[in-house]
Every structure is written in C-alpha cells, then in structure tokens.
Structure 1
Amino acid sequence: MSRSSATVGDRRWWCFLRDPRLSRIARAGQFTVPAMNEEELRSAIERPAAHAGLLLEDGLCDLLLRKLQEARGGAGDAIALPFLAHALRETWTGRVGTRLTFGGYQETGGIGTSVARAADRVHDALDADGRRELRELCLRMVRLVDGQGKAVRRRVRMGDLTSDGTRSGATVLLSLLTDARLVVVDDGEAQLCHDSLLHGWPRLRDWINADLDGLLVRRRLGEAADAWDETGRPPSGLYAGEHLAAARSLTENDGRTLPTRPVERDFLRAGDQAERRRKRLLVTGGAIVLALALASTLALVARRSQQEKVLATSHAGGHVQLWDLARRSEPRRAAPLDLGASAAIAFHPRGRLLAAQTDSRLTMWNVADPRKPRKLAERRNREGVTWTLAFSPDGRMLASGDAKGRLRLWDISEPSRPELRTERTVAPTGLISLSFYADEGLLVTGNGRSGPEDKVPAQVRLWKVSNPGRAVLLSTGTTDSVMAVAFDPQRLLVAATGRGGNLAWWAVDEADGLEPVEVSDPNWVWGSSSHLPSISFRPDGEVLAAADSLGNVKLRSTDGSDPSFATLTDESQLPAGDSVQALAFRPCPMW
C-alpha cells in the first residue's frame, strides 16, 4: 500500500476541512508543526552558520532573537521568520571574512526593513520605464483576495511575463529580483519569494492600494480567460454586459492597471464581438434570437433577361429595402417591403423572384420593377426565427433553417403557389447555414455546438433532396464550431467556417458521404481572432470569399490543382467599415 504526504499552510487548511472526504483524512493523519521556541530559533541561526564555517559576533544572535520576537508579536511567524531569513542573507553579503558582524546586520536595516531596502535598491537603480515595468511585473505576481487589499503571492508563467513586446525588459528585471532573493523562478514559473514581501515593502503595498478595484477585476478577468482557453474557448464562457465593460476598462485607464495578457486580449475581443452580435438579436418570447434582417446586403442577383439589377437589404424590425441598380454608380432607393418581423431573404438564381422568410411566414415577390414589387404568395408555417434561406440551383426548391433546428423545403415550381414539402427538426440547436450543390440534388446544412456546456461538437450534414418531400440524410460530420457552410460549385467539396477563423473541409463521396479532408497545415487559420459568419465560392470555384466580423471581406484564390484545398493563395481583403454578416457572388463567373 502506497502512502503520500502533503504540506498545507494554515491559510489553506480550511479547504481540506470543508471537503467531506478530505476532512476525514485530515483529522486522522494530521501532524501539526508548532511554532519554534527560542532554543530552536537559536539553533536555526547558529548551526547553519557553523556548518558553512562562519562565526557570529558575540551578542549578534541575541540581538536577532530579540528583534525577531518583536516582529513575531506584530506579524506572526508566517511573516517574521522570512524577514529573519532575508536579514541573515543580507548580513552574510556584508560579512567581514568569515564573520557575521553587527555592522553588516545594521546595514540591512534590520529584520523589519531588510526586505524593503533590498527591493528599493532594485527600484531606485532603474529609469522611469524600468520602474513602470517593475511595478507591472510585481503586481502580476500578486493575487488580490478581497476589496480590502488582502493579497497573497501568485505563481505566473514566464511566458505571460515576457511574451509581450512592451515588457521586453521583464527578463532582465526577473534576473535582478532573483539575485536580490526577492523572486523565485522555478519550473518555468516565477513568484515573489514569500508573502512577507507583501507586508515588508511599503512601495509594493502602495501599488496595490492605488487600484484595488482594478486589480480585483484584473484577477477575475485572468481566471475567466484561462478557464475559457482551457475549455476550448466556448462562447458560453465569454464576458457580457457589466462584466465585459468592467474588464474592458482595464485597457482604457492609461496604464494604471496592468496590461492584459494575450489570452485576456483574445477573451475580451471575443466578448466584444459576441456583444456586437447580441445587439443585433431580437427579443422573442422573452428569449434573444438572431435577427437575420441586417443592415448589410444579404443578396444580389443579375437579371439576365433585361440586364437590370436589383438589390435587397433586410433590416431589423421586418423592413426589407429594394434598390434600383440600373445605374451601378448611382443606386436608387426603391420600394420598401414591410414584413412585420425580421426576415431572411434570397433571390431566385435566374429570375426576378425574391423570397422572404420571417419567423412564421414565407412571402414571394416579383421585383422586376423594384419601385412596384408584387406579392405573389404568402404561406404560414410553424414559428421559429429563420437563420438561413437559399434557392436550389434550378430555382425549383427553397430551403430554410431556423433557430429550433428545423429544416424546411418548399416546392417553388409555381412561385405563386409555394408548397411546403418538408418540415422536420434535424439538429439539436439552431440550423445556422445551408448550401446547395450545383446539381446532384445535394444540400449541406450546419449547426453549432449543443448539449450541456456546449460539449457536443458542431455538425455538418449532407442531404439528398432530389425529392423535396423526402429529404434523405446521407452523412454527418463534426467540427469544433460552425458559422457557415458552402459547397464548392465545381468540385464535390464542402467548406465550413467557425469562430476564430477556423476552416474545416469534407470531400463528398457518393458511397461514404462526408469524408474529412486534411489540409497541408492543420494549424492554418483564416481570420486570426475574427469570426467568419459567411463564406461563398465564386461560381467558377477559383475564389473563396469570407465575411469578417472585424469589418472586412476576405478573398483567397484557390489552387485548382489541389483537390484537398491544402493550398489557398493570394490573400486579399476589401474594407467594409463594419462587421460583415453575409455575402454572395453574382451568378456569373466574373465579379
């Protein structure tokens, strides 16, 4: 039978007693280490010195014990003994030959102030920038426990102290603090030598007291960001509302509080992006649901018969605006469509037909004259906010996905008499995106993560929809997250984009369905920290475009010789000015 032991300080002992299992072990196997008496303290001073061949001047040990008793009366052993250890080390530094002298001890400032003198020597030798970096460095190694200023030491990864270019002197400072025995570096982590430094160095105490609220927010931000990162960066772990605003203030206070770490900046950036998305949501039945009627362009189609152009934009509140683009340099506002609720919209691939799907009804419009649109049909369906809408390439079918995971397939063979042929729940969460293949009767759908704490991966499903009344599931693929899916129009290849610019690929095999495609660089990310809520292939398959949540449209040329899409070249981007939510190419090979 194996045995193990653990050493626990009095500050952490309550954690064991609070746990019902650990408390039984603690009560049964506890070995208390009492405070050292005077004889033990004398031995602790004299015997190590003798072992090292050192002598103490007569009376020096008595003086040390007397001063130690005074310190113990005020701060207790947990603080006083580290003060003694530091004072002895500094006295040894000022020794005369092999003798520890009264003069050497007096130079340290004594047991109560030796730590402060050593720390101030490091501080005073630095220039203004160095002192600022020293403050940042020391405060990173402090954990504030409460709003009254109670603080303890904190172990910090070296990478968090030295990775940022603005803290390029951190390595040098750590070396100075380590040489002064103020900081301990071990196993890739750094920490203050002891909690005594928090009490014995007034300057550090002043730094802490100067911004207690900010340091508390900083501590909570660090814990939340680390937990978010360790669990795969799920949206459910992000800050929102007041918490996000308080954390964001850390970057806007002219440096009074510490600069944020890379993971914290990613965390705040993701929270900002999620907050912007939430502002576009509608409150429906007490819940926030996605408003697909955005101020951005959702669809644009060229009417080949008369070479006229019509643009439709869908906005929050159920307003769809038509634009006359007969003169592309001078777009003119045409008629509005008042649908009563936010709508997803889609143009027919070869005609003048506009479909608009709200949470409860589908309407079909003839927009040959954008100034006088004609409603062709209106059909009601079960309520559920529509997140995605698309026509099949031949224009005879309309597919939509809603917030309840329902897939709807409409027969639009007669636009004035649309017929709902399929309405079924196919995903455990909202059906975010869908895309038709050019032929073959194939449809791909995508939904996000689901389950408790979003532990079920996002899903991409391949369907056979040659008959809109009988959608057949062919295959299901999984990935970390899905925000949009798209079929390559020239190859049986599916792309899906998720948060953080990640892309996943599947080849479509008639026998095996979706087969994951390994790209040449598995760590390649398109979009860096931004999300890509929409992607679209140019009809010739030679360009892939992505909507960027940071306000750009990203473009990449595809290497047609590489069917696995391992090579994407010639990246460029078009500035859009605001977060882009959707994009589409016109249905012809040229832009």
Structure 2
Amino acid sequence: MAAALDTPQVLGTKGELQTTNRVLLEATLRRGTRGLVEAVRQARIPREDNVLVVADQFEELFRFRRSRPAENSRNEAVAFVKLLLEAAQQDEVSIYVVLTMRSDFTGDCMDFPGLPEAVNAGQYLVPRMTRDELRSAITGPVAVGGGNIRHRLVLRLLNDFGDQSDQLPVLQHVLMRTWDHWERHRQPGQAIDIKDYEAAGCFRNALSIHAEEAYEEAGKNHSPRIIERMFKSLTDTFSDPRGVRRPTSVQDLAAICQVPEIEVIQIIEVFRSPKCCFLMPPYSVPLNSRSVIDLAHESLMRRWTRLASWAEEERASAAIYDRLSQAAGWLAEGTAGLWRTPELEL
C-alpha cells in the first residue's frame, strides 16, 4: 500500500523527502489501525480532494494468508483489513474504499472482524452480461478493428458462451485467436466466419491450443520438466479446491526449478509475449530476480488441459505429503505407530 500511495498523483512528494517518503508512509501505515487516515492527513492534500483506495482482486488477501507462515500472514492480513475499515468508517478526511473480488470468496470475509458488516453495507454484485451486452462485446471490438463478422458466427459464440464464471476472459481470448486466423487467411471482402472460429479451437479448446503452442515454443530451447515445475509452482489447487494463483518471484522459481534465473526468464518471456499474455507482469515490464510472476487469469488453470493435469498431480502430491507429515508428527508424539498395509500402498 505504501508503494501505491507514494506516487505523484496520490501522496508522493518532491524534493528532499522524495527518497524517504515511502519509508515514512510504510511506518505510518504500520503504526496502528488509523495508519491510512494519518498518512492522508499528514499529506495535507486540499480539503476538496478525495482519496479513493481500490483493492482489486481482494481475494488475493485470502491466498496471501494461506501461503505465508501462519502467524505472520494472519497478523499482516488482519492489519491490512483494519486499515481499510478504519479509513472507510471515519469522517475526518475524505477516504473512500472499494474492494473487488470474486463472489465465491465472499464467505472468506468472515475470518476478519468487521469486514462482513462493511461488505454487507456497501455490496454491489456485478450482474452477468445480458445476451445483447455479450453481442456488443463480440461485434464492437471487431468493428473497431475494421473487420466484419458473420451473423451466424455471432450466434454461435453466444450459444457457446455458457454460464461459467471465467467465460469473459475466455471469450476475449477466442476472439483474438479467431481474428488472428482470419487475418492470415482472409480473402478480400471476406468476413470473419465459423471456419475461422473452429480453426482457432472454439470456446472449448482455443486457450488450450494456444497454450500448447507456447509450451512447444518454449520447449525448443528448454526442458519440458522445467516448464512443468514452473507452472506447478504458480498454481494452487490444494489449499483451495477452487484453484487460486500462487504468485512467485523469479528468484524462487529458479530455485524450485534448479536452473539459472535467466533460463526461467526466457521461458516466462514466451508465455507473456504480446500474442500470449498467459503470465504477468506485462511484456513491457522488464524482469529481474525480484519480479513476481503470476498467471494472468485463473481460467488458464481450467482451460489448458496440460496445466489442469499438472495441477491435479501437484494437488495429489501435496495431499500425500501432508498426510506423511501428519503421520510423522503423531509417531514422534507416540500417538501412532509405523505405517503398515494399506497405508503403505499410497
């Protein structure tokens, strides 16, 4: 949060304090539940100005709490939520807080005192797009790009859309792939048609086919085993069966894959190229040891067949490890004995 606040458009400063401002902001934020309020108040922004804090993909806080050492992550997550709640509830300075998160994570708010009440008081559930809105989402970008799309393909896309929660990013991807195929093979005056859509793989397979192409491209110069380890490190279906991303630094990925960092970066570059965008940060952001790599969207875990298989293997391995660890603890306590059949038949 200190990094986000320390920008010229928000609470950033110039002059002698420019280099130390972020440190001061972080110290203020950590001082107590009123840290955000005090940081804004000390910045002395004009009275008529408001501060809007947007915590996008707020469900990542729940992942953060699970992926770090229990006590530290719990304390930091609770402290962060308290900062936001206090800032939203006070009326000394004009601070507004907006949280966005997947609706299936709403129940996780119960773990934070005061958060369910705040969510209930200001909740807005974004409705699903209507059929007409989806039609506009399909035809609009095509028109902006200077193309034409056949009416029968629009109907096919609307019918194939389905009702899963991750369909919009999949729609975006399949439209991009359909457009690319049309651009490569079109004849003068020819509109985008069903043959282009089917060549791209349709809703069911377009993303998986594209990811496989990137996998094969990366595999030309790198071991498939390294790519597998890297993507297994970026996904988590064990701690949360819904499947969540597991952002990991380049340095940690290299250690997990047991290869130099430059090799990990080279693989990442293939999967985050402008034509793929499967990994974040965007292609325009230079990578280094501390860069945090993340899946662009959870739909990749469900739509890329190979990654779904890897994630299931990792989930099963994690379950076995957890079971072994628990059994070892019981053995050390003297509350259980050595495993015998059928326990040994894992």
Equivalent residue in structure 2 for 1:151, among 202, 224, 243: 243
How many angstroms apart in 2 are the aligned matches of 1:145 and 1:89? Answer: 32
Identity within the alignment, %: 21
Q: Secondary structure at 2:119's aligned position in 1?
A: helix
Equivalent residue in structure 1 for 2:215, among 117, 123, 147: 123
Equivalent residue in structure 2 for 1:53, among 137, 146, 157: 146
Residue matched to 2:195: 103
How many angstroms apart in 2 are the aligned matches of 1:211 and 1:158? Answer: 20
Q: How does 1:423-438 map to 2 (within 5 A)?
A: none
Equivalent residue in structure 2 for 1:170, among 264, 270, 285: 264
Equivalent residue in structure 2 for 1:194, among 285, 293, 297: 297
**In structure 2, do the counterparts of structure 1 residues 53 and 162 end up closer, same or farther at CA, with 3 Å as the change threshold?**
farther
Residue matched to 1:2: 95
How many angstroms apart in 2 are the aligned matches of 1:62 and 1:219? Answer: 48
Residue matched to 1:185: 281
Q: Secondary structure at 2:203's aligned position in 1?
A: coil
Equivalent residue in structure 1 for 2:132, among 26, 29, 39: 39
1:62-99 deviation digits (Å, cap 9, x = unpaired):
11111113xx2xxx1x2322221110111122123695
1:405-454 deviation digits (Å, cap 9, x = unpaired):
xxxxxxxxxxxxxxxxxxxxxxxxxxxxxxxxxxxxxxxxxxxxxxxxxx
How many angstroms apart in 2 are the aligned matches of 1:128 and 1:172? Answer: 9
How many angstroms apart in 1 are the aligned matches of 2:221 and 2:142? Answer: 40
How many angstroms apart in 2 are the aligned matches of 1:90 and 1:165? Answer: 33
Residue matched to 1:205: 308
How many angstroms apart in 2 are the aligned matches of 1:55 and 1:131? Answer: 40
Deviation at 1:54, TM superposition (A): 2.6
What letter is aligned with 1:102? I
**In structure 2, do the counterparts of structure 1 residues 170 and 216 end up closer, same or farther at CA, with 3 Å as the change threshold?**
farther
Residue matched to 2:328: 242
- How many positions carry a matched residue from both structures? 219
**In structure 2, do the counterparts of structure 1 residues 52 and 211 end up closer, same or farther at CA, with 3 Å as the change threshold?**
closer
**In structure 2, do the counterparts of structure 1 residues 90 and 50 end up closer, same or farther at CA, with 3 Å as the change threshold?**
same
Cα root mean square deviation, aligned: 3.1
* CA contact 1:86–1:115 (8 Å) conserved in 2: yes
TM-score calculated relative to the size of structure 1 = 0.34
Q: How does 1:259-278 map to 2 (within 5 A)?
A: none
Deviation at 1:3, TM superposition (A): 0.9
Q: Is the counterpart of residue 81 in structure 1 residue 177 in structure 2?
A: no
How many angstroms apart in 2 are the aligned matches of 1:216 and 1:177? Answer: 29
How many angstroms apart in 2 are the aligned matches of 1:66 and 1:240? Answer: 48
1:115-163 deviation digits (Å, cap 9, x = unpaired):
110111222342595211110111111012359x653222222332246
* CA contact 1:199–1:205 (8 Å) conserved in 2: yes
1:441-488 deviation digits (Å, cap 9, x = unpaired):
xxxxxxxxxxxxxxxxxxxxxxxxxxxxxxxxxxxxxxxxxxxxxxxx
Deviation at 1:102, TM superposition (A): 2.6
1:343-379 deviation digits (Å, cap 9, x = unpaired):
xxxxxxxxxxxxxxxxxxxxxxxxxxxxxxxxxxxxx
Deviation at 1:14, TM superposition (A): 1.3
More helix by share: 2
How many angstroms apart in 2 are the aligned matches of 1:24 and 1:61? Answer: 42
How many angstroms apart in 2 are the aligned matches of 1:95 and 1:158? Answer: 36
| Higher Rg of the two aligned structures | 1
* CA contact 1:144–1:150 (8 Å) conserved in 2: yes
**In structure 2, do the counterparts of structure 1 residues 204 and 129 end up closer, same or farther at CA, with 3 Å as the change threshold?**
same
Q: Secondary structure at 2:103's aligned position in 1?
A: coil
**In structure 2, do the counterparts of structure 1 residues 143 and 211 end up closer, same or farther at CA, with 3 Å as the change threshold?**
closer
Deviation at 1:168, TM superposition (A): 4.5
Residue matched to 2:112: 19
Residue matched to 1:113: 205
* CA contact 1:158–1:189 (8 Å) conserved in 2: yes
What letter is aligned with 1:151? G
**In structure 2, do the counterparts of structure 1 residues 218 and 138 end up closer, same or farther at CA, with 3 Å as the change threshold?**
farther
* CA contact 2:177–2:206 (8 Å) conserved in 1: yes
* CA contact 2:238–2:315 (8 Å) conserved in 1: no
Deviation at 1:113, TM superposition (A): 0.5
How many angstroms apart in 1 are the aligned matches of 2:154 and 2:296? Answer: 24
Q: Secondary structure at 1:181's aligned position in 2?
A: coil
Q: Secondary structure at 2:236's aligned position in 1?
A: strand
**In structure 2, do the counterparts of structure 1 residues 133 and 53 end up closer, same or farther at CA, with 3 Å as the change threshold?**
same
* CA contact 1:135–1:207 (8 Å) conserved in 2: yes
Q: Secondary structure at 2:98's aligned position in 1?
A: coil
Q: Is the counterpart of residue 214 in structure 1 residue 306 in structure 2?
A: no
How many angstroms apart in 2 are the aligned matches of 1:178 and 1:85? Answer: 16
Higher relative contact order (CA 8 A, sep 6+): 2
TM-score calculated relative to the size of structure 2 = 0.56
